[in-house]
Amino acid sequence: MKKHKIGLFIPCYIDLFYPQVGIATLELLEKLGQEVEYPAKQTCCGQPLANSGSEKEAIATYRNFVRNFQDFDYIVTPSGSCAYHVRRHYDVLEQTDAVKKVRETTYELCEFLTDILQVDDLQIRFPHKVGVHNSCHGLRGLKLASASELVEQRYSKLRRLLEKAEGIEIVELDRNDECCGFGGTFSVFEPDLSAKMGKDRISDHERNGVEVITAADMSCLMHLEGIIRRQKKQIQVKHIAEILNSNSL
Amino acid sequence: MTPHAYKAKQFLSNEPRADWHDQTLWLVRQKRDRMAAAVPEWENLRKQASLIKENVLSQLDVFLEQFETEAVKNGVTVLWAKDAAEFNRIILDIIQKHQAKNIVKSKSMLTEECGLNDFLHSRGIEVVDTDLGERIIQFRGETPSHIVLPAIHLKKEEIGETFHEKLGTEKGASDPTYLTRAARQHLREKFLAADMALTGVNFAVAETGSVVVCTNEGNADMGVHAAPVQVHCMGIEKIVPKQEHLGIFTRLLARNATGQAVTTYTSHYRKPKPGGAMYIVIVDNGRSEYLGNPKYMHSLKCIRCGGCMNTCPVYRRSGGHSYGYVIPGPIGSILAPQKNQRKYADLPFASSLCGSCSNVCPVEINIHEQLYDWRQDLTRQKRTSFVKRFSMKAAGFFLSGNARYNFVGQIARWAIRYLPHCLLYLPINAWGRERELPSAPKLSFKQWHGKRVKN
Ligand code: SF4
């Protein structure tokens, strides 16, 4: 496997609340022989501000991101929505070589594994019934999987990585790619709708016998986990990096 | 709370009903998916439809003039209205000129947009809506909650009650066939007595000067055939250049709207009937303003199929009336602020930006990206709340520098770890009303990594 120089971007909420997801991502990339560096002065990609309409206030954060990440072959992050934000919405910055490079080389973890490293058998054992939550920006923005609205060949990069795990059962859902209702600050400015959408998503997984909900975005899972814990449900959430890192490589 | 969030909360307070609404529209979405999948060239059709509309918008003046010329040649009177007031006035003039007493109208979102019914009502003129769903909400004094399925928010029992009151159907009857029969009987009388028929327009063909109206109930035809005077009302964006382009749109429209291969009736109106009169009223009402705005002009490609409503996880759970604008759902949320930024400033935020609408849209409107752009514009124009703008400014400051970020991150984690539950979950914490906050582990990733590097 070719060795790349990777800048690891750990989004703010993962850094603060879910360090185990960052650790799993780092360990997995290292096991795959990559040279991973974590630029210590990184903060956030600016998405929460911009999605709330305050793109202008996010510019300084964008610049900080570019400063920290301009010197790598690839920037890899365990978050579909952050990767999408950098690629799609850093168009408001002046398109210097550094900005262009950062936008082109930022990858969500799963697509980095399947598209750049071209691995799909990570020799995992995960004997559980798993429901894949397709987070919207990963799905429709990064095209990590085919979207149910489009008439196209069906595929899923997440499933491709999970499928070969020993003992795993990937569960079919009633609504394969409906939004969980997190939506950044949508979750606090439309709290009732956001919670209802989350509850409906969880019911779908429960109804179909899922034990573990996984996704390429911890933000969706944070929202779902918040509801699961409040309602004292059995079902669990686990970021896909944690599953992929539980291997015997 | 924003108006939309407030109305959504009300809608959700009856959870079984909200679930029913969600499920009903989801079924429509599933039917649409099956129908679309049966057309292998589906994505290609969307692309073509989108390009044709873009071409139309890029030289709309030329196409409109061509359309007018052809229509006039066919013996049609073409009238132009710059806004809602002028449109309503024109319709009133036509009514007075022909001394029309009994007016029937098939579905037209444009007349809703212009408030035609109310305008005429205040002048003592009644218009009978002949689309079944429209008639139901007209009986109830409501507005449509969906552009294709205007009474989708009502259950059949409620419709039964309304019909009992207005049409004398049996009390408690809710059998759809029985109710539909009663409505048909009632409408038949209206059609037979009609001396003027109003319709909306789905497509206006520039090369022939004819208009096309798609319905499932045939009510546009019934009205137009029965009444000596026919009036077709269209927005300036309804143009398609050629007859041969129609096939692309009619194949997309019904499949995407209701999951039918084609609408039951696709009616082409070209010239007045012998001894009759035909009018086409072309309305701007703000449209030419969006046309000049490169960011938002694509919203004018909309063919009003309603697909973006059926797929929208927010719309399905908050209902059409929660938007407070005549066109609800994703497309309504990008059209409304063009009409009135202050009044509809909350609508572009009434979305999780999931993007399903853009994928469903048969003319490839980038709806979710326009929602994002509107958010920026409305914030810049200070149309959003001060608290929101201020907190984003503060967040922008803290997120843009490493030391500042670490400092607030530390505080947030400390608060979650050590503050008592009652303080953390004060009512101001909207997140915490139905959700737990994430737990904060001892070390952040950054701290963990710092230690790892040292060792
Ligand atoms: S925006 Fe697109 S999906 Fe929505 S009603 Fe218009 S044409 Fe249909």
Q: Express each pLDDT in A100-111 by its tens digit.
A: 999 999 999 999
Burial environment of residue A78 by CB neighbours within 10 A (0 to 12, 13 to 18, 19 or more): buried
* Integer Rg of chain B from CA: 26
User: Which of these, A81, A97, A188, lies nearest to A137 by C-alpha position?
Assistant: A81
Same domain, A15 and A102: yes
Does ligand 1 have an atom closer than 6 angstroms to the CB of B360? yes
CA distance A161 to chain B (A): 24
Residues with Cβ within 8 Å of B79's Cβ and at least 6 positions away in sequence, in order, are: B90, B279, B280, B281, B282
> Amino acid identity of B311?
T
For residue A248, pLDDT beyond 80: no
The Cα–Cα gap between A80 and A182 comes to: 14
pTM here is: 0.96
Contacts of B22 in chain A (CB under 8 A): 200
Domain at A233, CATH number:
3.40.50
Q: Which of A81, A116, A151 is the last residue of a domain?
A: A116
Query: Which positions ≥6 away from B116 have C-beta within 8 Å?
Result: B87, B88, B91, B127
User: In this predicted model, what pLDDT tens digit does every residue of A30-51 receive, in sequence order?
Assistant: 999 999 999 999 999 999 999 9
Could A196 and B12 be called an inter-chain contact, meaning their C-beta atoms sit closer than 8 Å? yes
Is A201 part of any domain? yes
Backbone angles phi, psi at B343, to 5 degrees: -65, -35
Distance of alpha carbon A206 from alpha carbon A217, whole angstroms: 20
A171 and A201, same domain (yes or no)? yes
Beta-strand ranges (E) seen in B236-384 are 239-240, 265-269, 277-283
Q: Which two tokens stand for residue A179?
A: 């939004």
Mutate to test the interface with A, among B364, B392, B416 (most CBs of A within 10 A): B392
Asked whether B326 and B288 are in contact (CB, 8 A), the reply is no
Question: What Rg do the C-alpha atoms of chain A give, in angstroms?
Answer: 17
Domain that holds residue A40: 5-116
Asked if residue A101 and residue A9 are part of one domain, the reply reads yes
Angle in degrees, CA B12, B17, B18, rounded to 5: 40
Which tokens sit at A204? 């779908």
Q: Is residue A249, in this structure, part of any structural domain at all?
A: no
Provide the token pair at B415: 């608060």
ipTM: 0.96
In a domain, A122, yes or no: no
Q: Are residues A50 and A154 in the same domain?
A: no
- Of B67, B34, B444, nearest in space to B281 by CA: B67
Residues 114-173 of chain A with CB under 8 A from chain B are: 136-137, 140-141, 147-152
A43 to B401: CB separation less than 8 angstroms, yes or no: yes
Do the chains contact at B358 and A188, CB–CB below 8 Å? no
Please answer whether residues A124 and A244 qualify as being in contact, where contact means their C-beta atoms are separated by less than 8 angstroms. Answer: yes
Any B CB within 8 A of A19 CB: yes
- B61-96 burial by CB neighbour count: b if 16+ within 10 A, else e? eebbebbbebbeebebebbebeebebbbebbeebbe
**A174 reaches B (C-beta below 8 A):** no
Q: Identify the burial level of B168 via C-beta atoms within 10 angstroms of its C-beta, where 0-12 means exposed, 13-18 middle and 19 or more buried.
A: exposed
B293-330 pLDDT, tens digit each: 999 999 999 999 999 999 999 999 999 999 999 999 99
d(CA A148, CA A162): 20
Minimum CA–CA partner of A201 in chain B: B313
B169-191 confidence digits (pLDDT tens): 999 999 999 999 999 999 999 99
- A76: tokens are 């890899």
Is the beta carbon of B302 within 6 A of some atom in ligand 1?
Answer: yes
Ligand 1 centre to CA of B357 (Å) is 8
Q: How far is the CA of A148 from the centre of ligand 1 (A)?
A: 17
Candidates 3.40.5.90, 3.40.50.10420, 3.90.1580.10, 3.40.30.10; CATH matching B39-285: 3.40.50.10420
Residues A107 and A136 in one domain: no
| Phi, psi for B292 (deg, rounded to 5) | -85, 0
Let me know whether A9 and A111 are in one domain.
yes
Judge if A178 and A232 occupy the same domain.
yes
DSSP designation for B40: T
Beta strands in B196-318 (DSSP E): 196-199, 203-205, 210-215, 229-235, 239-240, 265-269, 277-283
């079919």: which residue's tokens? A172
Q: Whose CA is closest to atom 6 on ligand 1? A: B302
Residue finishing a domain among A94, A116, A138:
A116
Q: Are B286 and B81 in contact (CB under 8 A)?
A: no
Quickly count: other Cβ atoms within 10 Å of residue A85's Cβ: 25
Instruction: Say yes or no to pLDDT of B401 above 90.
Output: no
Q: Do A143 and A57 share a structural domain?
A: no
pLDDT for residue A249 is more than 70 = no
Residues of B in contact with A20 (CB under 8 A): 441
In chain B, % of residues over pLDDT 90 = 86
Question: What pLDDT is stored for residue B420 in this prediction?
Answer: 81
Please state the domain extents for chain B: 39-285, 403-454
A94 with A29, same domain? yes
CA distance B114 to B282: 12
- pLDDT tens by residue, B35-73: 999 999 999 999 999 999 999 999 999 999 999 999 999
Domain count, chain A: 2
Query: Is the minimum CB–CB distance between A71 and chain B shorter than 8 Å?
Result: no
Same domain, A105 and A146: no
CB-based contact A12 B446, cutoff 8 Å: no
Asked if residue B45 lies in contact with residue B246, where contact means CB atoms within 8 angstroms, the answer is no
- State the smallest CA–CA distance between residue A242 and chain B in angstroms: 14
